[in-house]
Amino acid sequence: MSAVTLVKTNFPLYTVNVLDTNHFIVAGGGGSAKTGVPNALQVFKLDYGSKAITAKKVHEHDSERKAIMNSAVHPKEKCLAVGKDEECHLLTVDIKLKTSVDKTKQDKSDDAEYEVSLLRSETSVKSLDKDNEGDFQKVVRFSNNGEHIVTGGSNGYVCIFKYPELSCVHEFKAHETDVDDLDIHPNGKRFVTVSRDTKAFVWKLEEGKREFELFYSGPNEDENEDSFRIRACRFLTNEKGETFLYTIQVPAKFDRQKPLPSFIVRWDCSKWIPQLSRDAGREPLTQMAVSDQGRYVAVGTASGSIAVYIAWNLTPLVSIQRVHNIFVTGLSFLPPSPALENAGKEFGLLTISADNSCKLVTLDNRKEFGIVWIIIGSVFLLYLTFLALSYFGFDV
């Protein structure tokens, strides 16, 4: 496993998304304060070279006075939903060359220019207290069919919008404080929200009504539901078509003298109960991602470390310490592709941080032995055992 720096920016990064097998975006900035740190969204093209995978910036979108802090990609259209303070903006991300570029050089020219245009913007997260200007959108998600956008805010509110008209179908206070994360079930009927108030709920999307509360008490008898809170959540559908909810549980209160571990938990989506958990160490987890084919779960930590687990049994696969200088702010797996396979990589994981860097974590393809070779090896081992026993005079 290795980690290489793909991108260094002049602003802190807070969100990363894969657009297709060859393009991804990063965004962030210094916010509205006049610090001289820009607010921007950048589009990069991946180059799967013979020796290394690199990235080249092909477009930069100036987000002016407001930093883009969260984003989501439409599953079917060339559209991004991004959070800028209390607003949710829609951006078209049409990866194409400008008409001024010679079409005969589209795939060869290093000077090719790409185009990303602003579609429109609407306010999606609102505070009931009109005088409170500190509220902001913390998370945004598209449903799998692309028909809904769900946002969560620092004021605990959730908004459900119909896409593309962006009409608000439901707006309600889901939590007492920040909605730290949310994710929508692949069937589009339910979504899950998690909060700093230690609560986690399952909601009916169409009705905007709460259906279940998620409880996790930890592995020890002396711990209770209030010992941990869910920091992030992701639905994952495996190769068998089974859907599970994965969450990262962190201590509700951090105690430097006696720190509790963080956990990765898999939930049964039919009963909404914990099905499997894995101790992920004493370092607080900050981010989570799942791979497209449902094989891997990745987590990032407060110290900038990265770990990847096998999804079906949560067995640790690989871990790299201090990939970033400070906490991880975003993770996103590259989709499986012939280019990634030809590069000899089992997976590619984009990871960003407020240290202004985007890095690529990869794992070389592991050698897998077929059943025939396993049988041959077993027979050969038995043969050597009989030889050894005969040599030492045992009657075999």
Question: Please, how many CA atoms are within 13 Å of residue 315, restricted to the half-sphere of its CB?
Answer: 5
pLDDT single digits (tens) 258-312: 888 999 999 999 999 999 999 999 999 999 999 999 999 999 999 999 999 999 9
- What pTM, to 2 d.p., does this model score? 0.88
pLDDT of residue 369: 43
DSSP letter at 10? Answer: S
pLDDT of residue 393: 66
Chain position carrying tokens 């894995």: 278
Residue 33 or residue 56, greater confidence: 56
pLDDT of residue 209: 97
Q: Where are the domains of the chain?
A: 371-396
- pLDDT above 90: percentage of residues in the chain: 70
Q: Under 8 Å CB-to-CB from 292, ≥6 apart: which residues?
A: 333, 335, 336
Residue 198 or residue 99, greater confidence: 198
| Contact yes or no for 143/136 (Cβ under 8 A) | no
- pLDDT above 70: percentage of residues in the chain: 85
Reduce the DSSP state of residue 342 to 3 states and report it: helix
pLDDT at residue 368 greater than cutoff 60: no
Q: What is the mean pLDDT of the chain?
A: 88
The residue type of 108 is: K
Question: Please, how many CA atoms are within 13 Å of residue 222, restricted to the half-sphere of its CB?
Answer: 1
pLDDT of residue 120: 66
pLDDT single digits (tens) 304-340: 999 999 999 999 999 999 999 999 999 999 999 999 9
Reduce the DSSP state of residue 225 to 3 states and report it: helix
pLDDT single digits (tens) 12-30: 999 999 999 999 999 999 9
Model confidence band, residue 115 (pLDDT cutoffs 50, 70, 90): confident
pLDDT single digits (tens) 137-180: 999 999 999 999 999 999 999 999 999 888 889 999 999 999 99
pLDDT of residue 123: 61
Chain position carrying tokens 């194409």: 96
Distance of CA 28 to the CA centre of its chain: 16
The residue type of 237 is: T
pLDDT of residue 106: 47
pLDDT of residue 225: 59
